Structure formats: C-alpha cells, structure tokens
A and B are shown apart, each in its own frame.
Chain A
C-alpha cells in the first residue's frame, strides 16, 4: 500500500510546486501577502509530499517489492536492512527523489526561518527554490521514476553492488547531497537580490551560515569519500582524481573562493559582480557534480548509470540557469559597481583575490583534465586519457601557492600593507617555516613537494599560533582575565574569525597528510604459511608480518577466505591482522577487505591480492598447497593526519557556525582588523 501512496504523493507534489512557484513570484511582484503566504505553504506541502514519496521508496525496499524495477536492480531479499534504507540513494532514480527531498527540506527551513524577516527578498527566494524542486520532480516522475514497475514480480532482486555494501554507503552520499542541495538556498538569495535590486551586502549576510553549512557538508562528503575509497577499494590510496571525485571537489573549490571573496564585499564593498558570478558558478557546479555522478558520461569508478538522456536534460538545465543568471547580472551591472578601488598588490584585498584566482585555477585545471578527452573525441577524432599524473602535476604547485596564501591572507593589512606590518607578522613565521624545512632536509627528506608542504605548512601554523597568543594576551591584559578565560572569550567574541583560523589549521594538517604519499612503501610477496614478510617505513619502523594461513567462513550471502597474520613492529608484538576475500553470491561478485592498523604517524595496510584459483575448495579440503597466497603490504605515512585534519576542520567550521552573535558589531569594533595591525 505505502509505495503506491508514495508514487501518488509525488504526482501531487509537482503541480503544487509549480503553482506555488508562480504564486510566490506573482506575490513578490505585486506585494500581495496572501499570494506570498500561499507560495510558502506550498513549500511545506511539497516537502511533506516528497517525504511521503521517499518513505514509499524505502518501504518498497524493506518489503522486497521487486515488481519495482528500481528495487529489483538495487536490492535483494538477504540485503541488510540499513542498505535497504540506503536504497533511496543507491541508484539514479531514487537519488533524484532524495535530492528533491533534501532541497524541499532546506527550502522549508529557509522559508520558515525568514517567515517574518526579509520580506522583500523571500517571495523570490521561495519562487526560485520551488522552481528548482519542480525540475527535479519532473525528472523523478517522467524520466527516471523509481516507481516504474516491471509488470511481473521477480522472486529476488539483483542485489546491491558489493562495493557499495559498506557503512560509508549510508553516510557518504547523503552528506555530499546535503552539501549540493543546501547551496541552492544561497543561490536563490543571490538571484533574488538581482531580481529585486537589493544588491547591498544584505543577501550575503543572510546566507553566510547557509554557505558555510553547505561548504561543511561538501568537505565532509569529500573526506568521507576518501575514507571509503581508502578502506574499500583496496589499493592503498584515498584519491584517484576520478571524474566523480573531481566533480565533488569542484563546487567545494568554488564555494571556498566565494566564502573568502564575500569578506571583501562585506568589509570593503568591492567584488560585487565577482561574488554574484561565484554564487552562480558554485550552484552550477553542484548540478554538474550530480549530473556527472549519475549520467556516466565520463568513465569513472562511480558511473553506476549510463543514461545519456538524463545528461542532456541536466546540461539543458545548467544552460538555462547559467544563461538566466548571466542575463540578470548584466542587467544589474550598474548596481554592482565597486565602492572602492584596489590600492595595492600588497594588501589583504589582493591576497584574498589571489586566493580566489588560485582556487578557481585548480577548478579550471580539474575541469579541463576531465573534459579534454571528451573534447578531443568530439572534435579531433582521436581519444586520449588524462589521469592522476596530470592532476598531480598541475594541482600540487597551485595547491602549495594556496597553502601559502592561507597564512598571508588573514594577517596582511587591508588597503596597503606597510613594511612594518609585514615585518611584524611574517618575519617570525617565515623563520619557523624555513627552520622546519632545514631540519627535515637535514633528516634526509629530499622530496621537494613534501619539503615545501611542511615548510609552508608550519609557516601558516606559526602565523595562526601567534595570532591566538597575541589575541589572548591582549584580552587578558585589557579585561584582566586569566589566560584560559581570555582565550575562550576571544574565540567566542569573533567566532567567524577564530573558527576560520582553526579550519586553516585543519587544512594544513590535511596537506601534510597528503605530502606523506611521497614516502609510501610497498612490498608484494607470495607467501606460504609460516613465512614472514618484512617492510620498513619511511618513519624508521620495521614491521614483520608472519603469515598464519587462510581460513574459510560461510556467511549468509558470501563465502569468506580470510588471511591471518601476526604482526610486530620493531620487534614488539601488535597482535593479529586479517585481510579477506569475499565471494558474494547475489550479485555474484568478488571483493577484497583490507586490513588496516592505524598509528599516529602511519598506517600499516594489508591486502590479500591473490589466492590460488582453487582456493574456494579450501571449504571442503585442507590442502597446504592451496594456502599459498600473494599479499600487498603498504606503509602509508601520515595518512591518519588527513582524518585528524578533517576533524579539526569540522570543529573550526562548527565554531564559526555556532548560533549567536559571533561577529562583533560595527558599533563596538569598526572592522575586524586583526589585533596585530597598527
């Protein structure tokens, strides 16, 4: 019963969303409160109806309703319950509805929060949000309906792709989707500001938390994806420069640029056109990422669907949004004039703008690398492949420039930095950075990029540390507080600034984690039980893995062949580690589970690469010859730092996001000029 109700709800949601959008625009244009109110109620109704539809899809999964093509393709009777719930976003059809659900939720929140405020903007914001929801509903009903029936009921479904049967499956896609969808709200505010001509910094202040929330979800989604790849795909890395990974990185890069450049508009009244352009571009990138994940246009580990029709529909939608956005910006160009001019290349404005260019430069390089094969195939009639070597070669140097700007931007003076300002803020940190670089060089680190990452990274950390110390000291002196209290009050009084610094610390730590890749160690060896594999890490540790043999287990949906090791580090016993091959029955697939042991500075990573072709017969007889197997063992230095860095980044963002004032009002402090200046 419920799935049918869900389909029905979806059908009702579309006209309400369309009509509500029209009402909202009309209400805004004619300033008629009743129309505006109807539009807002439509948003709540649409959310409720899409929630019903989603519940319907999940129920269809839970009840094994295989007469639905979507359930048949992504589930099976013995699939674990939480993967059935995750079925909502396992494939294209469901994820379009899931997207609409998220968007309707965020739209309802935006409408509810502003129901008594910002009345001149809200009708348009709501109208835009409902129009976007309508687009996804049209897709979900007419193009990729998850409620489409097969016309018969298969006994069992095809099962979920085994590589997706991982707990990250329930976490990573929704997080990324939350990031993609929540950015629609700042986009709608930006476009409404253009429509109404209210082009002061107001729309930016109103959407700051939305942008930051969206940014946080995107960052988390990307980090979760890295973690998933690291644990599941079993090649020892966390980032492939795979098209879909790249696609999720793009909106994050542009959103990061936007987060920084809006500070220039708020403080100096400049870059208004630029900011409008960035909000539009970020939104387009979220659509692009969704469409790339789901269309399979570009070969990728993620291309779960190969549906070219939907690619054209998405391209058309992007063209429409981009075109209308550009026309609106051109139309309002006279109102988007800068209030001030750039005065010096050595200023905070310049550093921020440079940061923007660098971020967009990375985004450009990534897009170009993804699209180049399509372009050559379309125009030059030969096919090429662009892989990780390209992305690393281009993005590592640009990324290092970005890292350096992360230190410079926050402490260089507005307008024009004096020599005194530069000396006070940069001499000590530069010394620390160069010193660390020299120490690492003396210790034998010769990899240029790794050295630079650590030198620049510590330069940035030193700047941030000095800022914290200076700020805390000043506050302790003026307010006569203890250092601890002063520190807490300092952060609380300008959460945006200090939270931002903590985010920067997280990013530096992550960059250092990435640099560790330069010193990965790997051994591949064929072992018989009792034999030992040894591997030495760049950090100077020696690991010995004694192979104990294979054992077999039968689980409900799979046969497992488990390799057992007893492991020691520098002669100290660490206990056992396992890595296993899983032979899944439905769908018939083979997958490998890696064994990972985390340390503070490195990971030990064990993969059972190959077992004898007849190893499956170990289930019936115990033959020593069948116990031989090949293993890949890796030591990945500093990989744990990526996750620590991610955690710090989240904490910093949450501090900046925490409700309450958080930013000193202008009456008290004219502008957030750092304590160090003057």
Chain B
C-alpha cells in the first residue's frame, strides 16, 4: 500500500508539471481578440495598452488597399463589423494571403495580429482572411430566386464553403 501511495505522488507530480506549463503558457502567449470598436474603447480605458500585441478582426473597406510600387508594404483600412464609421488604418509589411481582396463584390473578413502604434496606425504582423460571405454578391443562376425548401439548410447561402488563407508573419 505504501508503495502505491508513493506512486500516486509521482502521478500528481506529472500532472502538476503539465498544469504549470499550460498555465504559464496561456499567461505568456495569450493575446486579446477584439473588434476595431473594442480596440478603441479599450484604449480610452487604459491608454498604456496601446503597445501590446492584440488580435483585431473586422472587414476590409472596399477600395482601401494600396501598395507602394516595388515595396512590400501594404496599407488598407479595416472597419468594425457592426459600425462602418469605426476604422483602423493597417500597415502590413508581408505578402498578403491569396484570398485577400478589397473588391466591392466580396466582403473580406480579416483577422490581424499586431499592435497599435503611437501614430494610430495598426502594424500587423499577421493577416488571416476569412471569406465566408464571398459569393453573396454573385448573381444566381437562371431560375434565380433561391426558394426556401422548408428547412433552413436548403438555402445555398447558408451552406457556403468558406476559405481562409494564411500568411506567416
């Protein structure tokens, strides 16, 4: 019995090491995920947070993308998903993912990691795109209007395959 108990202590030791690693790992690597509106709201509350790494998600403002020729510096504007007037200017010094677009036709959702600079520009180290709604503006095939077949699953727009590109920052 005594030996079994000693064994038990060993098991708890392993579990403790794992939990310690997970706990400190979360604390050290976690980033906050916010919308542009939340980012600015947070900033007003604790301005000292502006230097911190953070993850922001929103929509790309159509037509806002620009790039200096021959340089790998992209600039575009990301708007809050609920309030288009809340905007962040983003700079990204890496190649953009294949699925990135600022076309009117396809609203691109982006998730960016980076930090807000002193001058109010968001410097992204990583940009992910998510194009769940990309086909909404594409006209339907002949016969046009999508009928509701009784079940919500029948609507093609709710069954769109979404894609996501990834660029390592």
Contact = CB atoms under 8 A, between A and B. Distances in A.
Interface of A: 66, 69, 72-74, 91, 143-145, 148-156, 158, 161-163, 233-237, 240, 296, 299-301, 303-307, 341-345, 350, 353-354, 357-358, 361, 364-365, 368-369, 372-373, 382-387, 389-390, 393-394, 397-398, 524, 526, 581, 587-592, 607, 609-610, 613, 628, 630, 632
Interface in B146-166: 146-147, 149, 151, 153-154, 156, 159-166
Interface in B1-34: 1, 3-4, 6-7, 10-11, 14-15, 17-18, 21-22, 25-26, 28-34
A301 B33 CA distance: 17
Given A342-B3, A342-B4, A358-B14, A385 B21 contact: no
Nearest to A581: B98
A630 B95 contact: yes
A353 B3 CA distance: 15
A148 B26 CA distance: 44
Contact of B32 (A154, A301, A383): A383
A384 B33 CA distance: 5
Interface stretch (B43-51, B77-85, B114-122, B135-143): B135-143
Given A148-B154, A373-B33, A393-B25, 9 more contacts: A152-B143, A154-B143, A236-B168, A300-B164, A357-B15, A383-B34, A385-B30, A397-B21, A609-B95
A450 B155 CA distance: 51
Contacts of B91: none
Contacts of B10: 345, 350, 354
A392 B4 CA distance: 34
Given A73-B160, A389-B29, A345 B7 contact: yes
A398 B72 contact: no
Contacts of B94: 524
Given A73-B159, A148-B151, A150-B154, A610 B15 contact: no
18 contacts: A154-B140, A155-B142, A156-B141, A158-B156, A162-B163, A304-B162, A344-B3, A350-B10, A353-B11, A361-B15, A368-B22, A372-B30, A382-B32, A394-B25, A398-B18, A589-B98, A592-B98, A610-B95
B132 to A, nearest CB: 7
A391 B113 CA distance: 17
B30 A610 contact: no
Contacts of A389: 28-29
Contact of B153 (A144, A152, A301, A341): A144
B147 A150 contact: yes
A73 B21 contact: no
B3 A383 contact: no
B99 A589 contact: yes
Closest A-B pairs by Cβ, 9 of them: A609-B95, A154-B141, A152-B143, A361-B18, A383-B33, A390-B29, A389-B29, A394-B25, A385-B55
Interface residues of B, number: 60
B22 A235 contact: no
Interface of B: 1, 3-4, 6-7, 10-11, 14-15, 17-18, 21-22, 25-26, 28-34, 55, 67, 70-72, 94-96, 98-99, 111, 113, 130, 132, 134-135, 138, 140-143, 146-147, 149, 151, 153-154, 156, 159-168
Nearest to A345: B10
B102 to A, nearest CB: 11
B156 A72 contact: yes
Contacts of A341: 1, 3-4
Contacts of A628: 70
Contacts of A607: 95
A240 B159 CA distance: 25
B153 A148 contact: yes
A591 B94 CA distance: 17
A393 B149 CA distance: 49
Given A383-B34, A385-B55, A610-B72, A589 B156 contact: no
Contacts of A344: 3
Given A73-B156, A386-B29, A161 B21 contact: no
Most buried by A among B15, B28, B113, B159: B159
A303 B162 contact: yes
Nearest to B14: A357
A95 to B, nearest CB: 12
B163 A394 contact: no
Given A148-B153, A386-B29, A364 B18 contact: yes
Contact of A386 (B26, B67, B99): B26
Contacts of A385: 30-33, 55, 113
